[in-house]
Chains A and B, each alone.
Chain A
Amino acid sequence: MNTKMTRRTFLKAAGGFAAAAALPVGLVEVARGQKPGDKFTFAYISDSHITQIKGSEFVRNFDNGLKKAVLEVNFMDPQPDFVVFGGDLAQLGKKEEFEHGLEMMKDLTVPVKWVTGEHDYYLDLGKYWQEKMAPLYYSFNHKGVHFVVLNSILTDDDWMYKRWPTPEERMLQMARLDNPDGSPFMVKGEQRAWLKKDLEKIGAQTPLIVLSHSPLYKIFKPWNFWTDDAEQVQTILKPFKNVTVLHGHVHQVLYNQIGNIAFKAFMATAWPWPYPLTYSQLPNMMPVITVPMNRADPFKERDGTGWGYIQYNGGLSYTHELWENSPRVVKKDPKMNRPGDTQYQSPAKRIPPQKHY
């Protein structure tokens, strides 16, 4: 690193310029977006898993992922209207991890819509989150689209409040994959009742985007690629003509369509997860329409990670900024009436896996 200008000061300098440089085009976008249903863009950063080693020492690789995403969102021209943070800012929900993550996030030149993840939640059950980031669930309207943020990573009261001797132990248990003592994610009754009431305010034709951390459908329970009361949530969303659920948690390219609802996951900035398909001992419900991403090359620590942005123009188009790879764009395939990769959806157009090592 250049000693005269540290990364931090550089990011600040660069951030300042972004605001200045992007201003004219940004204003044009706002002016055009005055009437409802007009087009707009927002970015999506997720699963940074900022991990404290000890004291002021953090896992460098994960820091670099979040910093890179923030820097690249700031480079967007025109600027997005806002950034959704898809959850799991911290690894073990520690105050130090939140503070360190927020220090990087505050370089963003646009506002943040926060979605909480289980790694943010199970130490203090959302106390820090609600004080410094956002409520655990809320809704807002943006240019004719109704957005709902859900806390989809709740679980049984017994598990949350009684099972574990300390909050630290509870957090560690929830952070484990393939955990026989784990417990599945849920939205739970109170929030479902709130959701129902919130949606009473809008018409069935209003475009609806639901932001959750876990997928609001069921893929693979041992890794919590799963929301246990997903069907009940889907039923509440059923009357709406244009529903999309955007989520994090799975750290991979993933999309699905169930009835009227399109589902789309975004990358982590920290590391990629494998697909449940690769764990052949147990059945999974991996969506068949998803064209999987390639295996990450461990030589390049940013391979398999990235961020994305969503363009709303009546329909939604999702662009994955896949580091060390070409971008992938997924949008609604009008013939199939479901999301599809604009380049690789047809099996003939896919890049075959490497067979020679």
Chain B
Amino acid sequence: MPPIPVPQDNPQSPEKIDLGKRLFEDKRFSADGTVSCATCHDPGKAFADGLPTAEGIRKLRGTRNSPTVANAAYYEIQFWDGRKPSLEEQAKDPFLNPIEHGLTSHAPIIQTIQKDTSYPGQFRTVFGVEPKDITIDHVVKAIASFERTLVFGDSPFDRYLYGGDKTAISESAIRGLEIYRTKGRCQDCHTIGQTNATFTDNKFHNVGVGFKRIQPKVMQIANAFRRAKQEGKDIDKAVLGDQEVSELGRFVVTLRPSDIGGFKTPTLRNIAVTAPYMHDGSLQTLEEVIELYDKGGEGNPFLDSGIRPLNLTAQEKADLLALMNSLTSPQFSNIIPLKKKE
């Protein structure tokens, strides 16, 4: 794993990380006291939730699959559409989303912290602030610091490629790595580097998943959103509350037509234990994901120009799957992957 990028204005400290973990798991920061960050980013589920799309307060369903927070610190930009630049900024939004934590402002979080028996002391130690001076920025800095500790490498793949252990992965997975880098065309987006691998290019690509939901009236939806954004509509609420707006992907940030339906390349680390897949959680198994790429994605006018039919053989698909199954870190190896539906 590469070194963790840490912003200059939020250095790591053990006390801050402890505080962040506690905040991450605190359900009081939601409208009905049922939802914490860990609800959708569950340590027991490799910091994801195993659901197609996120479930917030009162079992309300969002539009997007909860990405794992494991190794999220390596992303240069956060959320599926990159609408926030940092872990700190990302952490502010779910509190206020009506279908996630469901608060109408950050004020109740600060009040809960101020009234708590031990939070004020922790904030004083970490940030040197008095209870009355605690702001949401302190809260999200602590949460982000905790998230920067959620680094999970040391998979069989790492031991094979970077650790010199030629028997760490199966023959099939070794063949899979060759296909990954050549005929499978995986490497160009899910980057494996010379000395380490984050499995992402931090870019946005339209592979067509979910696009049929908006295809017949994509221009209406895009133009309506464009106007709403110009009039100051909150992107986070629009994206997670409206299935059609959600499918616009990266477009909601840039308003460029070529970004319609583009979603961030997610890491493949621990992919076997973070089903279901894709931005909308619409694929249950890795076999289905491999089939999707083999057929060249779901055709649509905005399809990424690197996505094309692969004509993989059954053996090649099996080898890729073996490679995917070698990316699980030891901390998550007890999680049972979802099996393909018969």
Contacts and interface: CB of A to CB of B under 8 A. Distances in A.
Interface of A: 1-2, 5, 7, 10-11, 13-14, 17-18, 21-22, 64, 67-68, 71-72, 74-75, 77, 297, 299-303, 321, 323-324, 327
Interface string B257-289: 110000000000000000000000000000000
Tell me what chain B mostly uses at the interface: helix, strand, loop, or mixed: helix
A217 to B, nearest CB: 31
Interface of B: 185, 188, 212, 215-220, 222-224, 226, 256-258, 298-301, 304-306
Nearest to A324: B305
Contacts of B212: 2
Given A14-B219, A21-B224, 13 more contacts: A2-B298, A7-B301, A13-B216, A14-B301, A17-B217, A64-B305, A68-B258, A71-B301, A72-B258, A299-B185, A300-B305, A302-B305, A321-B258
B220 A71 contact: no
B188 A299 contact: yes
A2 B300 CA distance: 8
B215 A10 contact: yes
Contacts of A74: 219
Given A14-B219, A17-B219, A75-B222, A300 B306 contact: yes
Contacts of A303: 305
B215 A5 contact: yes
Contact of A75 (B219, B298, B299, B300): B219
Nearest to A61: B305
Given A71-B257, A72-B257, A77-B223, A299 B306 contact: yes
A324 B212 CA distance: 22
Contacts of B301: 7, 10-11, 14, 67-68, 71
- Most B C-beta atoms less than 10 A away, residue of A2, A7, A297: A2
A1 B305 contact: no
A214 B178 CA distance: 45
A17 B188 CA distance: 35
Nearest to A75: B257
B226 A77 contact: yes
- Most A C-beta atoms less than 10 A away, residue of B216, B305, B306: B305
Contacts of B306: 299-301
Contacts of A72: 257-258
A100 B104 CA distance: 55
B258 A5 contact: no
Contact of B223 (A7, A21, A67): A21
